[in-house]
Amino acid sequence: MLFTPILIKGQSANEAYNRGINSMAVENYEDAIKNFNEAIEKIPHFHEAYFERGRSYLYINDFENAINDFSIAIDYKPDFADAFLYRAYAWTATDNHMRALDDYSQSISINPKNLQAYLKRSEIHIRNSNLKPAITDITKVIELGHKNPNVYLSRGKLYEQEGDYESAFNDFSKAIEMDSMHAEVRYERGIVLFKQEHFDQAADDLTLAIQGGINSQHIYQLRADAFYSSGDFNRAIEDYTTLINTFRQRNEETQFKRALSYYYAGEFDAAVRDFTRVIGQNRNHAIAYVYRADSYYILGRKSQAMNDYLIAVNLNPDNHMVYERRGEMLIKEGKTLEAIEDFNKAIILNPCAGNYYNRAAAHAVNENPSSACEDLRKAAELGHPEAKERLKIFCP
């Protein structure tokens, strides 16, 4: 009979505790706190009641009381892994990230299979720019069997930041196997593929990301550059136009890239218009003058082409590209001596196989076979395939 009051008090405490749990289940945290208060009054060392009251405080953003309750629960039960975990949540909410890191680590040491502790600790490592420990934590989560595309996405992004594009690609690919239409994963894998210079595949992933709802300026910029680098100039033009018209990117760089896309797509009138816009923004853009000159020449506007080449030379006399392009034009116009002068300058600035080959052609037209053969030999030596064949025919 001496134990009857204690048993009754314990039963009453458990009833109050269970009422608190039921109140939490329906998100009535104020009522839950009252019930846990009652349970603790009856059994002051009721560590589960402190823990659940702490969780209730956490859910109503009363972090100070939450931390206090989790700490009491830990005092009564030092191996209480979940109390360390939830106290870490509260520390994080109050920007006490180092204390949170310690508590996540303590929770893991007690329960090495605590997935949430690994995930949350990885977030703090990322916040502190400690990428390797973050990768280790996420890897542990994966090893414990957590199958979620977002876990692979998170680790892939960390590998990407480290410059390990192969591992990043593998993680993003695993995430896509789980969710083929995961827009963010497609976007991130598109970035990695672009960095690896797999431009066609990058454009495919970025297209799916856009279809999945990612419609930022950056994704259109990246896909435009991927299309351009893969030689799909018409689709590059579409994206650069979206950047210019929708995202108001009417800057020199975007206009110039669209101008180049028009040029390589063979739309020379449009190319001239865009190169003119670029020059309007930057009168010293020598390369824009060169490409506009090329476009003018193809369109039969020879005097305008020559004028642009001259401006480009005056802007940058050390730009080999001007002499190369103007030299090619002069050969077509039958002005071989002037062409040779341009290729002489081009070779000084850029002694490549193509320039020796073109100068050889100019010497041949000018009926100077010895100089032509000498240049052909140099071009062949530098790896020009046509030069090797012509040497056999013209320079036995």
Task: Kindly report, residue by residue over 130-163, the tens digit of the pLDDT.
Answer: 999 999 999 999 999 998 999 999 999 999 999 9
Banded pLDDT at 4 (limits 50, 70, 90): very low
Model confidence, pTM: 0.87
CB contact at 8 A, 42 and 27: no
Quote the pLDDT of residue 10: 58
Mean pLDDT of all residues in the chain?
Answer: 95
> Could you tell me the pLDDT band of residue 376, with boundaries at 50, 70 and 90?
very high
User: Helix or strand or coil: residue 246?
Assistant: coil
CA distance 46 to 9: 12
Q: pLDDT tier at 394 (50, 70, 90 boundaries)?
A: confident
In 3-state terms the chain splits into helix, strand, coil percentages (rounded to 5) of 80, 0, 20
Phi and psi at residue 215, to the nearest 5°: -125, 45
Q: How far is residue 290's CA from residue 322's CA, in Å, rounded to a whole number?
A: 6
Q: Taking the chain, what is the end-to-end CA distance rounded to the nearest angstrom?
A: 123
Burial 333-344 (b: 16+ CB within 10 A, else e): eebbebbbbbbe
Residue 98 DSSP SS3: helix
Burial 314-331 (b: 16+ CB within 10 A, else e): ebbeebbbbbbbbbbbbb
